[in-house]
Each structure stands twice: as C-alpha cells, then as structure tokens.
Amino acid sequence: MLSYNQALKGKKIFQDLQMEEIKPIMKLIIRGKKREFISAVGKSLNILLPTESNTSTQSDKLTALWLSPDEWMLFSNETVREDSNHYEIKELLSNKISIKNLGAITDVTDQFVMIELKGNKIYELFQTGSPFNFNDFQNKKGAVTQTILNKIDIIVHNLDKNVANLFVRRSFSQHLFSWMNDAASRL
Amino acid sequence: MFIINCPFCGEREQSEFKAGGEAHIIRPKQPTELSDDQWAEYLFMRKNIKGIQFERWNHAHGCRKWFNLVRDTSNDEIKAVYKMGEKPPIK
Amino acid sequence: MTKNLRVKTGKAIDETYRISFKFNGSTYYGFKGDTLASALLANDIHLVGRSFKYHRPRGIMTAGSEEPNAIVQLHDNSSRTEPNVRATEVEIYEGLEASSQNCWPSVNFDVGGINNFLSPLLPAGFYYKTFMWPASFWEKYEYFIRKSAGLGKSPTKPDPDIYEHKYIHCDVLVIGAGISGIMAAKIAAKNNLKTLLVDEKPNLGGSTIYQNSDHFKINNQNSGSWVEKEINEIKKLENLEIKTRTTVVAYHGYNFLLARQNLTDHLPIEQRKNKTRHRLLKIRAKKVITATGSIERPMIFDNNDRPGILLSSAIKKYADYFGIACGEKNILFTNNDSAYETAISLIEKGINIEAIIDNREEINSKLIYEVEKNNIKIFKGYTIIDTSGYKRINKISIMQLSKDGQKVVGSKINLSCDCLGISGGWTPAVHLFTQSGGKLRFREEDQVFIPNTYPSDQLSIGACNGNLTLDEILRTTPESLIKFLNVKSSDYDNLEVLSEANKFKRNIWLLPSNKVLGKTKSFVDYQNDATSKDIKLALREGFRSIEHVKRYTTTGMGTDQGKLGNMHALGIISETTGTKMGELGTTTFRPPYTPLTFGTIVGRNVGEYFDVIRKTPLHDWHIDNNAEFENVGQWKRAWYYPRNTEDMHQAVQRESKAARASAGILDASTLGKIDIQGTDASEFLNRVYTNAWSKLAIGKCKYGLMLNEDGMVYDDGVTTRLGENHYIMTTTTGGAANVMSKLEDYLQTEWPELDVYLTSVTDHYATISVCGSNSKKIISKIITDVDFSDESFPHMSFKNVKIGKISCRIMRISFTGELSYEINVQANYGKSVWEKCMEAGKEFNITPYGTETMHLLRAEKGFIIVGQDTDATMTPIDLQMDWIVSKKKYDFIGKRSLYRSDTIREDRKQLVGLLTDNPDEVLEEGAQIVGDIKKSPIEMLGHVTSSYFSPNLRKSIALGVVKGGKNMMGQKLTIPMEKKNINVTVSDPVFLDKENKKLNA
Ligand SMILES: [Zn+2]
C-alpha cells in the first residue's frame, strides 16, 4: 500500500480569511473542438460544458471550468479515495471521447493543487500580487479566470460569495501558499 | 504596460501575454525547394517599423491561444485584435 | 537657545501634543502635525544643509515635495537610515533624528565651503572638462569628489521594514485632493463610478484648506471652510476610496500609474514593528483626473539662495497652517498678487512685514489696498539686486527697474530683514501629465506650459491645467468634469465665487543687476548649484538643445528634478537664443515624481520570496536525507547527498561509483512532460523532431532531438507511445515551458489542420529513476506482477503497472548508460514509491544521487545536456549526432537550415571528447581551447563544456566544442590556464561502454 502525501499541510486561519488544500479531488483536462465533443461529454456526464469564456457549470458530481475555446477543467465536487487513482469518470470519458477521436482526456489530479479560500478578504489577498481586475469577478458566482499571482500561473473559480477555489501547479504550490499566508497575515 | 483584449478572454494586463514578433510571416510549405536567400528571407528578415505594425501575441498565462494584433509602435496604441487565420481588420 | 516663533495655533497643529526630536544632535520640540521643516522654523532654524557643488549654506525654501534645499538624513547609522529626505515632507514623531547632508564636519562649519570661493574655477561642465584627460587621473579626482560631495549615506544594514505591492483597478483615479480634486472625486463617486482619490499630504484640501481670507469666498463662505465642508461630505461617499500620504510617482501608458502609499513613516519607530512601511500601488484607472496643482516660482537674482529666503506661498502656509512666523523682519518680493495673500495672512497674525518689493509699477487690486491700509511700504517697479548674510539673510539691496525691465536704474536702497518671501508666479505641475505622454502648449500671456493633447483617457483640472485663480477653477472645472465623466450635472453648477486677486504678472526670467553677469550668483537649480551664468556659458559654448544644456549644466538633474527652477532655465535659454518658449519645449520629466526607496520598488520579493521556488514531490525526503540543493531554473533539485564530512567531490565520486556498481536512485520529477493526443499525433512528432516517429510501436520509447527553425538544437528528451494516438513527451527541465509554448505555436498558427492536443502533466507525476546493475532486482521486488525479462520488457519500452492499488507507468530508459527504470507515479504517491525503492534497495546499497552525479554519469557516456554542451549555435551535425537526423523526411522544424552555406561549413565548432595527458588533471568548464600555443595571435578553437573526474574510468574526462573537431581525433591541443598550459588529446565523446553492453547487464 502506498501512502498519500498531499502538497499543503494544514488549514490556515486568519481574520476574515481561511485557506486549505482540499484533496484528493479528481481533475481532468478535457480538450475538443468538434461540436460532437461537447454533446458527447454532456451526454456521458450529464453536464453542459460552459462555452462562454470565463465561466463554469456544475452538476451534482462535477464542476467544469472554461479554460479556452477548446479546453476545460473538470473536477469532482467531492473528495475521492486516497488509496486508489482509478477514476470511473475518466474511464467513461476515455471510452466516449478519446477512443472515438473526438478529443483528448488527460488526468491532472495531482498536476494541480486545489486551495479553498473562505472569508471576505479573498480578493484583497489576490490584489497583493495579481494584475487581474477582480472587481466584477468577485460578484459573479461561478466566474473563472486564469491569471498570475506572485508571478505564478493560477486558476481562480468564484464558487460563491466569500468562497473561491484556487488551482495551482503542484510544484509551485508550497511557495505560493507560503507567500499567500505571509500576505494574509497583514491584511 | 498595455491592456490587451484577448479575443478569447477579454481585457487583460500585458504581463499575462508573451510577444511573438511580426505577424503574417507564413512558414514555407516546401522549404527544401527554396534557395538559401529565400529561406533566409523567411527566417531572419523582419520589418520592425515605426508606426502601424502587425504582431503575434500569445495569452501565455491565460487561455494559451495565439492571436494577432495591430499596434502603432510610435505610441503603443493597439488598433485591433484578431484571431489567427483571420484577415487584418485594418491595413 | 533658540527662539520660539510659534505665533498661534495653526490649522494642522495639536498644541496639546508636544513631540521631541533631534536635529544635528540637539533636541528640539514641536507639536503633533508639524513637519520637520515647520518644527525647525518654529525654533528659528533656517540653515539645514549645504549645497551640492559649492557647499553654500542653504535653508528651508518651500513647504512641499518640491523642496530643493532642505534634504536631510534620517536616523543616521541605523538600519532605518534614509538619505535625501525632504524636511518639508517628514512628519515629526517622538524620537525622530535628522541630520544635515553635504557637510563635513558640521553644517555650521563645512570644509567644502571653500568651493564657494573657488567657484570661478567650477563653472558648468567643470567636471567634464577637467577630468577628460588624462583618463588615468580619474581615480584620484573621483576620490576627492566623492568625499567632498556625496548626497547622503546609504544604509549598510538590511532594511528591517516590510514593503508591499497592491494592484488597484478603478473607474476614476483623482490625483491631488486640493479644491479641484475634491470636486472631481465627489462628482465621480456620486455618479456611481468607483473612484480613488490620492494625495501626497497627510490631510486633504491642498492649499485651500487654510485659506480664511475674506477676499476668496465660495457661496459666501471663505474658501477654506467651504472646502472643509466638501471634505466631510466626500468622506461619506460609498464609491470613493481616499488615500492620503500617497504620492503618484509614475504615470505610464494605458492609464497605468504607480503610487507610493506611506503607512508608517510618521509613527515613532517602536510603533512600526510588523507593519507595512510603504505600499506600492499599481493602479489601472479607466479615467484619470490630474489635479496636482501648481508650484510657486522663485525669482532669479544675485544670491537668491540664502537661508531665510523662502517661497512666499511657503511663508503663508507656515503661518496659516502651522502657526509659525518664518522671521521677525519679513520682506516679500513679487511679480504678482500672490505675495499680498501672504502679507494679509501675516498681518492677521501680527507678524511684522518690513516691506514688499513688487517689480510691477502699475498695480491695483483689493488685496494691495488692504496691505497698503496697514501702512506697509510697497516698492513698486523695484527689483532685488543682491542679498547678504552668510548663514541667514540679513539684508537685501534693491533698485528700480527700467521701463523695459532690462536694466536697473537709480540708486541702491538697502533694507534689513531676516526672512525674504519670493513669488515669481505659478507653474502648473504638469509632471505626471507629461510622463503619460501628454503634449504641452505654451501660454504666452502668463508664460506657462499647460496640457494640450492627452494620450489616454485623462483630464487635467485646476491649477495644473493653468487655471491659476479661484474663480477660474470654479468657473471651468465643474463643466469640464461633467463632459469628461459623461454625467448629467454636478453639485457645483451654480456656485457664487468671490476672488479678488489680480491676474497681472510681470514676468522677467532673469532679473537685471547692477553687476556684470560673471560676477553674480543667481541660482536657477538650487539643489545642483546651477546658476544663470552656467546656462549662458553653455549656450556660448554652442549647446542649443535644452536636453544638452540640462546635462551640461546639470540643471534639473537633482533629486527634485528642478521642480522650482526649470522654467527659469528655459526662459533664460529662450531669451538668450531668441527662440520662442513654445518652440523650445521642455525637458522630459521622468518617473519617479519624488524619489522611492528600493524597498518600495522591490516589495515582498526579498528573502524567501526573492524568486519563485518549485519543489518536486520528493523535496521533503531530500531535506530529511541531507541533500544539498541546486537551482535549476526555478526548481530546487537535489544536487548531492553528503555523508558525514564528505565534500561535494567526495560525495559525487561515491554516488557515481555506486550507481554503476550496484544501484542508484534519482529524482527526475523536474523533467518536462507533455501529454500528446489526437489522430495526427505521430505526424506532429515527425514535424517537430529530427527523426521519424510513424513506425514507433505502441509501448516503445524513443529519444528525440528538437531544433529551432534555424537548425540549432533546442531541446531533447524521450517520448513514449502510449497508444495509437497517444504519446507522452519528456523535455529538459529548463526547456519545459518553452517547448510547450513553441509546440502550441506551431499547432495553432502553422498547422491548425492537425488533430493534436497538448497538455502539460509535468507536475502530475513524480519521476523516480533507478539505475545500475541491480536495478531490475530492486524494481521487481516492488512490482511483482510484471515480467522484467529483456524479451518482455526490453530497453526503450514501457509498461502500465500497479504498485498496490495505484496505477503508474514504468519506462526502461537510461540517461546513464546503465540498466535503468523510470517510474512515473502520481505526485502524491511519489514519496511513498521512493521510500519503497529505498527499502527494497537496501540490500544492494541503493544510493540516492543528485544532479551532479547525473551529469557525471551521462558525460561518461557522452550524452549531451542541451544548454550546457550546446548554446543555440550547435546543429545536430556539430554534435556528431547525424544518426538522429532523418534523411527521408520531407520536412521538420529546422531541416532546411541544416544545409545553409553557414551550417555546412567544415570548420564549425563541433562536439568532441577531451582527454588530459595527466589523467588526474580536471579541466575547468568554460576554459578556452587553442591550437599552436607559439603561433601569434593564438588561434581560439573552442571551449570546454563539461568536465569531471570519472571514478568509473579513474581518469579525467571532458566534452568540448572545437572548430573542425570532428576531423581532429587523436590530435593534441592546449588549454592555457592562468598558471600553466594543459595538454589534451581530442577523443571520441563516448568514454565508457561504447558497445552499450551495460544497458542489458
Ligand atoms: Zn486569452
């Protein structure tokens, strides 16, 4: 049996802001240009992929983030098992999409670390190191953006008022998390 | 620092983008048929003008898509943005 | 003891809160609200520094950020020390320590003061002229200059403060919270625009807030009270954010502005701990409103720089705002009505005025009548021709001006004084406007430059737009704001305004004197000691462009960027050369508007956050096992693992031997990994690599070389065919992001017809490489259900396997030349797999090795490292890797460049092996390789790219690039080093196991 070693340990609590890694969350990058691709994904998973830029959609089990006109991130709403990396949804999509040459399905479960932020200082924290204009974004439930924070690529997903998910590549995650904690300590 | 209107994501700051040099230089379909001079023309020669310039940009820290833009290099004003494969909206 | 010149409580002063501070070692007192300048003036101290070149005594001249003279060093000899701070901007706090700059041993007795008497020898361009020749003398001069000049001392200890950056996006940014800025902020915010109002001062209201004269009224209230009421109102507005102590320092294109918000500089040091000192605001505004006001002009006459000479408006502010008399015998010298506003303020506070010198002859306004009513002598049509008093002005001499203002006439009158206020009219503060790329226009009637064309969505309002009187501001501002902000109305549409100053000004850039020009010292740039004489000399010597005159005379090149005197410099040039001011243009104002500390610029990018750090999933294991780390791009990679007292060499020799003799284990997680899918994936690889890919069987791996279009090696790595339309490509650690970006570029722009998708999965996997003759035994202990025989699992192939319940991939590939397996497992299980390998390998003495050993092992096999053995000038042919370049493929990136006339040259630098005559001699990487050492000049043939002592071969080995090296096998070459020449023999770059027997050991 292999043991599981998450990237970021512990929940950090500040006044009006908390952050912690949520794991394991299954994450897939799905790519496709054809119309049949979107409908095949929709039918297989019962989720409508967002086609409008900077938005997301949600089903009971999954959330889909728009990343580019032919690229989405799909992630599980609930955590998955630590003792297995077999994801039924991935297998299902591989059968319906990859094998039929409709597009590409790539497992990125450990490529990205998902950090959940809660509190009313989320965007104040982002302002200390991101050039992105979060003014409208923070009022738009489900909004998604890819941008940079402290020179590191991130994906931000506005889940709800005062709740956001941040995705960052694992190798950057410890540095970014430490940097975010430092900034949060003075907000 | 410019604000660039990515044709896919909307207005973003320049630091999210990477510049890719002059636009509309098409890679020859049959490079082996070209003389050294013709190949050098494709490989090395760039205009770098003062005034209206057509450029390639990549939204490197966003959607990762390449696109073209028209910039007046004398004052950095971006006149237009358009997708790869599209005709320039201005001359 | 010093006198107390506090006359009554000023608007800004809290008299119940006394503060002690030190200046040049002595203790003084001031009140909360004082600046260092106001507190010193209240103690009757004018002399605060020495000038830069002549070391002339200098005093406080202004009450704002334009101050050229009163620059001080704060907290000398401490980690918080800061030079070049303007005393007019320092808010005093308990424990403040300030000292004068540019003087030694003290401000009152300064050795450099001798330069003042030597000044005929120090004209404009003195340094250039004197030190041009001979060049070797420069060192001696430099020593002298540095010691006697020097603008303060930089700190020598680490900065203990915290600095931050913050991005702000707003609809409207208003710069300056004077009367115009306040109106603008209110209109914008009340119309639902997200508005940010910033001002460099601690309080709002600009110079209007302390205006309580009956001559300036708005809606029947004096203008100060009216503005105060407006301030209270805007503070309640929801859409408006107000930031004081915040200076906009730079205005760039696309309405991108930088501002420094000062958060703790006004607090006693002990209260600053763990607080952010400065915050650099990076502001993006849809619209910018510049309301930066205007700066009063001095007047240019002989000896116009003595302590006790201030701008007239500064004297007014010190009286009205801080409740201070700058002197007991005050004289004002003016060419416009502003000085009379000062006079009225002084009269009202009972401060004595000896006389007013006005260069205008015919003057009438209600302000002047009021001053005359108080029996103050006004010399009309007079000018000052000289002043005296070394450390404090004590006398002025005046004469009558001729009708045309070109000469002085009549006889000289001497007047004694201890303070002189000068007013030469007002200069709109257009610095930020011009920084943004705005073009100015010269307004002849009152000789000012004002904004003409805007390069972005912005507007200048109020005094910085040339509206220099209260009625002009109130008449024009609301209307232009309504238009600019595209709103319907403002609260200011029907204001009743009383504004009784007369606009008439008699502008004379350089006032005439009874002496010849060469005998006068009329300062134009106070901080850099540039005089009118210097400017005229520059013109006589042939300088014409104002940018050249500026550099030659150093006018406007101080830390104040000549905020006071630049206009006079232009005026003098214009008059001397007969060029119109409008045609002359101005010099360029460059950011920052006022100086920034390095801390502010750097922000939090210090210490552990200096640069981004990437870590592999095995990072903690490396730390726990004593690894030394190497920076590879942003990655921290385990470099070597010293045991006990081993140094790097010893550790690497041990690791290298173990990896071949039995088993080694390497963290290769940093290699770039790109998942490639799509029906055209094989065709795509054919186009981007030099070799052919279509025939690679599923389950097989292949090494590939990628070129740039110019034919030079760009990257390399192993790519594995996972399925019919599915590959995983590995790239070099440093090249990962660039390769991904380059491949996307070709897919999106040149070959959009290809059905291929690329996804980076570098971080998804931990990559663990186990190599050595015992590696198979170790791996098969962990992965039990796989046939590891050479038949079933040969070199350059891969298998999907499971470790426990976790699926992963295992490739049999080798970068060391040994039998070797690479496990790719999801990152979060990586550490566990590594530990399992360590456990299983214990009986085989499995040895973790780092990047240094990896480099050594591959060099023994002659494998290149892109970026170390190549440098973007090496083709595959140069690398003796012809075997990897497909002759059959019609095209691939860089193919055509491989037979350009330049790339087919025989004498290009080519990769070879190098063996030293003495096998223990290890070459230095980067060392030059030459041919015949006796030939002159020595022919440079190339350089060493990789060099190690090989423990497995027990000799020194090296790779290098040598001109025509391919045909030099066995030839002797020389590597000249500092102390000796090292003889080497050119060899095959593969040093070990040329037959690849070890791969299947
Ligand atoms: Zn984009």
Contact C969, C988 (CB under 8 A): yes
Domain holding B13, by residue range, is 3-83
Regarding whether C801 and C720 lie in a shared domain, the answer is yes
Two structure tokens written together for C763: 């971080």
Q: How many domains does chain B have?
A: 1
d(CA C91, CA C33): 7
Provide the pairing of β-strand C240-243 with C195-198. Answer: parallel
Which of B9, B10, B16 has the CB atom closest to A148's CB atom? B16
Give chain C's domain count.
6
C412 touches chain B (CB under 8 A): no
- A15-58 tens-digit pLDDT: 999 999 999 999 999 999 988 999 999 999 999 999 999 999 99
pLDDT in tens, B28-86: 999 989 999 999 999 999 999 999 999 999 999 999 999 999 999 999 999 999 999 99
Final residue belonging to a domain, choices C888, C923, C943:
C888
With a CB cutoff of 8 Å and minimum separation 6, the contacts of C490 are: C183, C186, C187, C478, C481, C482
Residue C654 and residue C556 in one domain: no
Q: How far does residue C755's CA lie from ligand 1's centre (Å)?
A: 21
CB contact under 8 A, A171 and C762: yes
- The CA R_g of chain C, rounded to the nearest whole Å, is 38
Residue C108 within any structural domain of the chain: yes
Core vs surface per residue C517-553: b (16+ CB within 10 A) or e: eeebbbbbbbbbbbbbbbbbbbbeeebeebeebbbbb
- Residue C605 is given by DSSP the state -
Q: How far apart are CA C553 and CA C534, in angstroms?
A: 6
Min distance B37 CA to chain C CA atoms (Å) = 9
* C-alpha distance from residue C152 to each of B88, C68, C88, C560 (Å): 56, 14, 17, 15
**Structural domain includes residue B72:** yes
Q: Which chain A residues are closer than 8 Å to C829 by Cβ?
A: 2-5, 85
Burial class (CB in 10 A: 0-12, 13-18, 19+), C708: middle
B32 vs C contacts (CB less than 8 Å): 890-891, 895-896
Q: Which chains touch C (3 or more CB pairs under 8 A)?
A: A, B
Phi, psi of C56 (to 5 degrees): -75, 145
Question: In this structure, are C765 and C624 located in the same domain?
Answer: yes
- The pLDDT of residue C850: 97
Residues 6+ apart with CB under 8 A from C192: C239
Cα(C929)–Cα(C927) distance, integer angstroms? 7
User: Of the candidates C342, C498, C479, which has an alpha carbon nearest to the alpha carbon of residue C421?
Assistant: C342
H/E element holding C798? strand C797-803
- Cα separation of A155 and A76, whole Å? 16
Q: How far apart are CA A92 and CA A86, in angstroms?
A: 11
Measured between alpha carbons, how far is C466 from C209 in angstroms, rounded to an integer? 20
pTM for the full predicted model: 0.94
Same domain, C914 and C867: no
Q: C750: which DSSP letter?
A: I
Gap from B76 CA to chain C (nearest CA, Å): 8
Confirm whether C860 is domain-assigned. Answer: yes
Mapped onto helix, strand or coil, the DSSP state of residue A159 is strand
Which pLDDT score, from 0 to 100, does residue A112 have?
98
Q: Could you tell me the CA-to-CA distances from C276 to A49, A187, C162, C260, C984 in Å, in that order?
A: 44, 10, 5, 12, 59
Q: Which domains does chain A have, with CATH numbers?
A: 10-24+111-187 (3.30.1360.120), 26-108 (3.30.70.1520)
CATH number at residue C950: 2.40.30.110
Distance CA C874, CA C587 (A): 48
Q: At what angle do helices C532-540 and C566-577 cross, to 10 degrees?
A: 40
Do C39 and C142 belong to one domain? yes
- Report CA(C580)–ligand 1 centroid distance (Å): 50
Residue A102 to residue B15: CA distance in whole angstroms: 34
Q: Which two tokens stand for residue C238?
A: 């929801």
Signed CA dihedral, C508, C337, C331, C293: sign only: negative
Q: Does B16 touch chain A (CB under 8 A)?
A: yes
Q: How far is the CA of C635 from the centre of ligand 1 (A)?
A: 27
Q: How many CB atoms lie within 10 A of CB A141?
A: 11
Instruction: Give the integer Cα–Cα distance in Å for C485 and C488.
Output: 9
3-state helix/strand/coil string of C665-724:
EEECCCCEEEEEECCCHHHHHHHHECCCCCCCCCCEEEEEEEECCCCCEEEEEEEEEEEC
- How do C330-334 and C353-358 pair as beta strands? parallel
Is C504 part of any domain?
no
In chain A, which among 18-37 make CB contacts under 8 A with chain C?
23-24, 29, 31-32
Distance CA C309, CA C314 (A): 10
Within a domain: B28: yes
Distance between CA C303 and CA B40 in Å, rounded? Answer: 66
Of C424, C456, C473, the domain-final residue: C424
Question: In whole angstroms, what is the distance from residue C877 CA to residue C884 CA?
Answer: 9
Q: Tell whether C606 is covered by a domain.
A: no
Q: Does residue C188 sit in the same domain as residue C167? A: yes
Spatial neighbors of C190 by CB under 8 A, at least 6 apart, are C237, C239, C491
Nearest to C318 by CA among C717, C43, C130: C43
Low-confidence ranges of chain C (pLDDT < 70): 1-2, 9, 102-151, 1001
Cα–Cα distance measured from residue C629 to residue C646, given in angstroms and rounded to the nearest whole number: 15
> Taken in order C963, C965, C970, C974, is the CA torsion positive or negative?
positive
pLDDT of C554 reads 85
Q: In what order do the strands lie in the sheet with B77-83?
A: B18-22, B52-58, B66-72, B77-83
Q: Same structural domain for residues C208 and C322?
A: no
Q: How many residues does chain A have?
A: 187
pLDDT score recorded for residue C154: 86
Residues of chain B whose beta carbon is less than 8 angstroms from a beta carbon of chain C are 1-3, 13, 18, 20, 26-27, 30-32, 34, 36, 39-40, 43, 56, 58, 60, 64-66, 75-76, 84-85
Interface of A with B in 90-149 (CB under 8 A): 131-133, 145-148
Q: Is residue C229 part of a domain?
A: yes
What pLDDT shows up at residue C109?
66
The type of residue at A80 is V
C10 is a domain residue:
yes
Same domain? For C900 and C996 the reply is yes
* ipTM, two decimals: 0.98
Closest by CA position to C445, among listed C360, C504, C358 = C504
Q: Are residues C155 and C175 in the same domain?
A: no
User: According to the model, what pLDDT value does residue C1 have?
Assistant: 42
Give the 3-state DSSP-derived string for C910-931, with helices as H, strands as E and coil as C.
EEEEEEECCCCCCCCCCCEEEC
Q: Does C604 map to a domain?
A: no
Residue with the two structure tokens 């690599």: C689
Contact C838, C846 (CB under 8 A): yes
Query: What DSSP designation does C994 have?
Result: T
Closest to A120 (Cα-Cα) out of A18, A35, A42: A18
Is C637 found in the same domain as C770? yes
Do C228 and C304 fall into the same domain?
A: no
In this complex, do A53 and B9 lie within 8 Å of one another by their Cβ atoms?
Answer: yes
pLDDT at C586: 78
What is the CATH classification number for the domain harbouring B17? 3.30.2270.10
Find the CB nearest B64 among A54, A68, A133. A68
| Torsion, Cα of C115, C119, C123, C124 (10° steps) | 50
Q: Rounded to whole angstroms, how far apart are CA atoms C940 and C962?
A: 9
The neighbours of chain A, by the rule of 3 or more Cβ pairs under 8 Å, are B, C
Report d(CA C415, CA A46) in Å as an integer. 94
Considering the domain boundaries, does residue C602 fall inside one?
no
pLDDT, tens digit, for every residue of C860-908? 999 999 999 999 999 999 999 999 999 988 899 999 999 999 999 999 9
Å from CA of C835 to ligand 1 middle? 42
CA A54 to ligand 1 centroid distance, Å: 9
Q: Are residues C765 and C627 in the same domain?
A: yes
Query: Who contacts C16 (Cβ-Cβ below 8 Å, separation ≥6)?
Result: none
- Choose among B8, B12, B61: nearest Cβ to A68: B8
Beta strand spans in C814-963 (E): 820-826, 847-848, 909-916, 928-930, 940-950, 955-963
Q: Considering Cα of A128, then A129, then A132, then A136, what sign does the dihedral take? A: negative
- Tens digits of per-residue pLDDT, C669-702? 999 999 999 999 999 999 999 999 989 999 999 9
With a CB cutoff of 8 Å and minimum separation 6, the contacts of B8 are A53, A68, A69, B59, B62, B63, B65, B67
Asked whether the beta carbons of C163 and C600 are under 8 A apart, the reply is: yes
From CA C519, how far away is CA C528, in angstroms rounded? 19
CA of A107 to the centre of ligand 1 (A): 23
Range of the domain at C932: 889-1000
Q: Is A86 on the interface with C (CB under 8 A)?
A: yes
Question: Is C920 exposed, middle or buried (CB count within 10 Å of its CB: 0-12, 13-18, 19+)?
Answer: exposed
Q: Which of C828, C172, A53, C997 is nearest to B63 (CA)?
A: A53
